[in-house]
Amino acid sequence: MPATSASIRRARALLGTFVEIDVTDAHGCDAEGAVEAAFSAVADVHRLMSFHDADSDVSRLNLEASGCAVKVHPWTFAVLKTALDMAHRSDGAFDIGVAGAPPQAGTSTLAAIELLADDHVRFGHPTVKIDLGGIAKGFAVDRALEALRMRGVRSAMVNAGGDLAAFGPDVRVVHIRDPQFPDRLLCQIEVSNEALASSARRFDPFRSADTTDTAVLEPATRRPAHGVYGATVRAPTCMVADALTKVVMIAGERAAAPLAHFKASAMLIATNGDIQTTSNWQGVLQHAA
């Protein structure tokens, strides 16, 4: 009979980062087996949606979909569907087509990607190249949580490089770094039965104490977004939270409509250092010491 454990914490290198799974209530179930199933789900998302893996759905679409309809895994199709909806509701601020050439006047990635029956996808223009890096990591976190729930885990958190989600009665305290001075903590946020994701300027503590441009690109120019230093989004799912951080980084206060549609709230750090939150931001923003 598999060994059971009340709690367990494991980490593994996946999705270009470290994925940590913290189970705090696994009474009566095989905790090790549940965690392995969760890591397997994350690995499946990586295999399907990697931009660099030649055998991934994303690579096959980028290579073949402008010439014919390509069948993809249902998970990939679901992420594409949400990505296109996010693009529509954000007026193009969220754009999975930033891997390709800049759009010509009068065209858009949204119009060039066709979702067809039976999980088939076709691109309407040969210059279209997609990258799901701005949404797939959050989707992987959601699939990991689903795997844990299905195996009887009652309380857990999955954290993939800052994109995280938790379920169960436990309240988790998450520390948010200051995007201007990432060696300092900006605040701490309580998370319970929801997802949280952040985007900011890049920071490599092994190379420099300074930040560099964000990896979030403006769709129209393919240049790093510059209107916001950092953004944190709370949402019902990590896929939505992950994608919406890019919308807030690009659109700033103009992201209010898509945030409201997806029942999400946000905190952003403006370029003058001001911290702004949406009116539905849950809980008190506790500044770290």
The H helix count followed by the E strand count for the chain is 7, 15
- In tens, the pLDDT along 196-246 reads 999 876 554 444 444 555 667 677 766 766 778 889 999 999 999 999 999
Q: What is the pLDDT of residue 284?
A: 54
Whether residue 287 is predicted with pLDDT greater than 90 in this model: the reply is no
Q: What is the pLDDT of residue 108?
A: 64
> What residues does each domain of the chain span?
57-123, 171-287
- In tens, the pLDDT along 76-89 reads 999 999 999 999 99
Is 134 known to sit in a ligand binding site?
Answer: yes
Is 100 known to sit in a ligand binding site?
Answer: no
Q: 35, 21 in Cβ contact below 8 A?
A: yes
Q: Is 224 left (phi over 0), alpha (psi -120 to 50) or beta?
A: beta
* Domain covering 171-287 assigned CATH 3.10.520.10 in the classification: yes
Mapped onto helix, strand or coil, the DSSP state of residue 48 is helix
* Among the ranges given (97-111, 173-187, 242-256), the one the predictor scored with the smallest mean pLDDT: 97-111
Over residues 29-52, mean pLDDT: 96
